[in-house]
Amino acid sequence: MVEVLERAPAGKTVEVGAREAYYTICPVFVASNVAQEFGWIEEEFNKIGAKLSYLRALAPEQGYLPHFGHQLDHLFRDGGNIPSIWAKADVTDTTLIALTAGHHGGQIVVRADSDINRVGDLKGRRFGLYKSQNSDKVDWWRATGARGILVALKLAGLQRSDVEIVDAPAEDRGFGNASRPSELWSQRRREDLVYTAEVRLLEEGKVDAVYTSHGRGQTLERTGKYKVIEDFSRYPDWTLQVANSPYALTVNSDFARNNRDIVVAFLKATVRAARWINANREAAATVLNRVTYHQTPADTAAAIEATDFLPNLSAQNLAGLDIQKKFLVDHGYVKRDFDSRKWADASYLEEALR
């Protein structure tokens, strides 16, 4: 059963073996989610005498905050790049070993009974914006929403000063004690993942619009109570799809230097899963639906249609990472800037691909 932590920072020490690595994966479209569901990461680890453990199997006070800040010496983290950037900038030394592009930049949602039909109609109106009450971690969802709102306004010829931003406070409670990601997410209602604090404000009529992700927006529309008035994925401009993406696979640097074979093993399993997903979209959608936000496997299959799951450190993905990083630095979500090219080390992935 998933245990919920009301409010507590990481306080207990986690004993980690010399050849043991923990992993944590966000509920997003990355190949490692499939690799761990099939046991392929553990299979690769067994070949080299290493042990794989799931971070979120720990109690919340031990496993929740390290998911965002990498405060565990032997940790692989795959998923949204905002926590990964924050961890590298302000928390601990990590190495970027792979990226996966995202293809859905998000949507702007309003109530279906409103007279708002396009973003231009929001001039003088109110945007709800999530605000975490947990000061021990980066507010990644607020950062994602804040950038999404600014992108939408710019596309509509509006400025930040043309709208009012209304904060939507959220407890941001930790949770854990799950054996694997699919258990972690299956024991949380999908409605809880969709009806975030700012959506509740929209539901109550306290704001006029919110930014949300594609899967959440789709679910909201199907209730008949909401409508999407802007969808960034309809634009050919790939920079508009940067929304806590491209997804970043990172590992603590000292661990990577001292355990190269373990890092390569993790990537080998991820590459194997990526190739399988790319060749078996419908079957893969069933697996990915267990660990992501879309309502059905068919929704997931449609959402991943354009995604190349083979991780890389391409110039375009690194450029996308820099777009996200610049926003975080410029708006105070991270304190220190750094060179993404020096953060990235392609040698591990190159070895895994041989």
Mean pLDDT computed over every residue of the chain? 93
Helix-then-strand count for the chain, H and E: 16, 12
Q: Is the pLDDT of residue 310 over 90?
A: yes
- Cβ atoms of 291 and 25 within 8 Å: the answer is yes
**pLDDT computed for residue 16 by the predictor:** 81
According to the model, what pLDDT value does residue 59 have?
86
pLDDT of 12 above 50: no
Per-residue pLDDT tens over the stretch 182-211:
888 876 666 677 889 999 999 999 999 999
Query: In this structure, what token pair is assigned to residue 203?
Result: 């539901």
Whole-angstrom distance, CA of residue 65 vs CA of residue 138? 10
Domain with CATH 3.40.190.270 in the chain: 107-241
Distance CA 328, CA 319 (A): 14
pLDDT of residue 188: 67
302, pLDDT greater than 90: yes
Percent of the chain residues topping a pLDDT of 90: 84
22 sits in which H/E element: strand 20-25
Question: What's the pLDDT at 194?
Answer: 86
Distance CA 16, CA 36 (A): 20
Condensed to tens digits (0 to 9), the pLDDT of residues 84-137 reads 999 999 999 999 999 999 989 999 999 999 999 999 999 999 999 999 999 999
Q: What pLDDT, on a 0 to 100 scale, did the predictor assign at position 231?
A: 98
1 pLDDT above the threshold of 70: no
Q: Where in the chain is the domain with CATH 3.40.190.10?
A: 3-102+245-353
The mean pLDDT of 23-48, rounded to a whole number, is 97
Q: Which residue has the tokens 């032997």?
A: 74
Alpha helices in the chain (DSSP H): 31-37, 40-47, 60-69, 81-86, 140-155, 181-186, 190-194, 197-203, 214-221, 253-258, 260-279, 281-288, 297-303, 315-330, 340-343, 347-353
Considering only residues 13 and 4, tell me which one the structure prediction assigns the higher pLDDT.
Answer: 13
Look at residue 15 in the predicted model and tell me its pLDDT.
77
Question: Is CATH 3.40.190.10 what the domain over 3-102+245-353 is classified as, yes or no?
Answer: yes
Segment 317-334, tens digit of pLDDT: 999 999 999 999 999 999
Nearest to 104 by CA among 218, 263, 253: 218
CA distance 329 to 336: 7
Average pLDDT over residues 15-43: 94
Residue 140 pLDDT more than 60? yes
Give me the mean pLDDT over the 263-270 stretch.
98
- pTM exceeds 0.75 for this model: yes
At residue 283's C-alpha, the angle toward residues 277 and 284, to 5°, is 35
Question: Domain 107-241, what fold?
Answer: D-Maltodextrin-Binding Protein; domain 2 (3.40.190)
